[in-house]
Chains A and B, each alone.
Chain A
Amino acid sequence: MLTLNTTQTQLAIEVSNLKKVFRKRDGLRGPIKEEWALKGVSFYVQEGETYGLLGPNGSGKSTLIRILSTLLTADGGTVRMLGYQLPEDETRLRRKMGRVSVDAAFYKKLSPRENLLYAAQLYGLEPRQAEKRAMQILEQLGLESRRFSDPIEEMSRGMQQKISIARALLINPPLLLLDEPTTGLDPKSRRDVQAFLEDLRAREGTTILLTTHDMAEAERLAHRIGFLAHGRLVAEGTAEELKRRAGTPDLEEAFIALTGEELDEEADSL
């Protein structure tokens, strides 16, 4: 079972009563429909902790990550990360967090080297030092250096996702937001990424918020896990605590018992 050094008591993420609603007009003159993606979610993540968020499609995982990434504004509640308040301190916070999403979004015609140098300069890093760091990360993730100059469009999804992780780590962020980082990867790439994240946490003490559909991944990487369903956090605890509470031997059954929902393998749309 994963345990966290309890001498680290600082909170890296504090989310309180977070709400988000999307409004859409039904036709040109129809009524406005409201769809609540988050209905008052509260949780915290300690510094150095890995917190896993599990939920089916439409549960609100991606909306939550987007709000924390400063890409969406909440309709209620508060978010405080690394001592900064959102949305007031978003520019300062952006310098301290990396994000990896389910879709490895890149300029596909450019090479990993060009994409990473672009990202590095965007964050004000010295290009030569950033290139050295990027190459080190990619090699640790098992990407062959001879591929660094090939267009990304010629690479597999696993390779692209590894480059996406390298991009998020270029600035050596104390906080990492991972939105289903291993979805769609082959087993070897999945193991490579998971091992790298374990190593990163041990070496740098990086705080990680991870959303995933993979129960084994959540058990392996997360100190604590939250179950999200219909925009609410319905249960929270270590994997062992959740299984004990549900009276089931594995985490997937615990998820079904506590949320009344089943997980599926598709990417989250909300």
Chain B
Amino acid sequence: MLERYLRPMWAFVFRDWHLTRRYMSWVAVFVFYAIVNSATIALIGKAQDDFRLTLTLLLGVLLWSFLSAMYNEIANSISYERWEGTLEYTFMAPVSRLIHLSGVSLFAIIFSVFRTIVILVGLVLFIQVSVNGANLLGVLVVLLVASLAFMGLGLMAAILPVMSPENGAQATNIFQGILLLVSGIYYPVSVLPSWVQPLAYLSPATYALEACRKLMGINHPDSTPDKLVGAPLSTVLPELGVLLLMGVVLIPLGLWVFHTAEMWAKRTGKLKRTG
């Protein structure tokens, strides 16, 4: 168990932690930029003197920051290996793709949680917004459950750099952009063109946002700028159920898609180093 599964899975966490450590100045710059970017969005609500709008925007930037960071870590893990030239060595190791991608995803979740907490603290201090009364623990639970579905999406996006060394990494950004557009991160889904709206229900971010807004008490009639009335976790069980179902479907689907792409790459010689 330890030798076959846990140690190989931990190897990816070990690798990604040391790579992050070596690029710590980059991480600091990106987190600083994320805080500033998030603040500029949340301040739109402040300017309107509307604490509900401020919190809606704040939640949107935080949730998107978390999910997109995790998605990026997973989706770009292959393009990064291709760039370094290590992809063949990783694929030659006696490690199943489930263990490989679980290790990559585990680090992605840990990294994204810490990054989001740092951004949250930075934002709360900067824009002086109160989250007193919000069910933050419940929000964390929703984020972790939503991570499963985003892992599945990340696994599917990760095949793009396997299939196209030149364009694959860029194509993952298109996929991410579509999710951002249809999920109603900063606006209600109802403002989207009617033909786009059904797509919102296919995105896990839509359900995660819906649940988090309730847990934060953003739209609760008794919430005030100083004291929010966050809902208990039990009220968002339907959303959690959908997110869990999406994870249960998308992770095996992502692994199957990845396996199919790997077999294709081994037939056509696409694993070879580029860059």
Contact = CB atoms under 8 A, between A and B. Distances in A.
Given A105-B84, A124-B4, A124-B8, A91 B94 contact: yes
Nearest to B17: A114
B223 interface: no
Contact of A109 (B14, B23, B273): B23
Interface in B66-99: 84-86, 88-96
Interface string B252-264: 0000000000010
Given A71-B266, A118-B18, A125-B3, 4 more contacts: A73-B263, A105-B84, A109-B22, A114-B14
A110 B15 CA distance: 9
Interface in B241-255: none
Contacts of B23: 109
A117 to B, nearest CB: 7
B4 A103 contact: no
Interface string A34-59: 00000000000000000000000000
Interface in A212-242: none
A71 B266 CA distance: 6
Contact of A73 (B88, B90, B266, B273): B266
B92 A71 contact: yes
Contacts of A63: 269
Interface of A: 22-23, 63, 66, 69-73, 91-92, 94-95, 99, 101, 103, 105-110, 114, 117-119, 121-125, 151, 167
B263 to A, nearest CB: 8
Contact of B7 (A107, A108, A125): A125
B94 A71 contact: no
Contact of B273 (A103, A118, A122): A103
Nearest to A171: B94
A124 B7 contact: yes
Nearest to B91: A71
19 contacts: A22-B269, A71-B88, A73-B263, A73-B267, A94-B92, A95-B94, A101-B88, A103-B273, A105-B85, A110-B18, A110-B19, A118-B15, A119-B89, A121-B14, A123-B93, A123-B94, A124-B7, A124-B94, A125-B3
Contact of A94 (B86, B93, B272): B93
Contacts of A69: 88, 92
Interface centre among A70, A95, A99, A118, by most chain B C-beta atoms within 10 angstroms, is: A118
Contacts of B89: 99, 105, 119, 167
B234 interface: no
B22 A110 contact: yes
Main secondary structure of the interface of A (DSSP, over half): loop
Contacts of B211: none
A96 B16 CA distance: 26
Contacts of A123: 8, 93-94
Contacts of A119: 11, 89, 93
A105 B14 CA distance: 18
Contact of B19 (A103, A107, A117): A107
A94 B88 CA distance: 12
Contacts of A122: 8, 11, 90, 93, 95
Nearest to A168: B89
A169 B99 CA distance: 23
A114 B10 CA distance: 13
Contact of B15 (A91, A101, A107): A107
List 5 A-B pairs, minimum CB-CB distance, nearest first.
A124-B3, A121-B11, A105-B85, A94-B94, A109-B22
B14 A117 contact: yes
B271 interface: yes
A105 B85 CA distance: 5
A106 B94 contact: no
Contacts of A94: 92-94
A53 to B, nearest CB: 18
B268 interface: yes
Nearest to B23: A109
Contacts of B8: 121-124
B7 A121 contact: yes
B14 A118 contact: yes
Contacts of B266: 71-73
Contacts of B263: 73
A151 B84 CA distance: 14
A121 B10 contact: yes
A137 to B, nearest CB: 17
Given A118-B14, A124-B7, A151 B22 contact: yes
Contacts of A117: 14
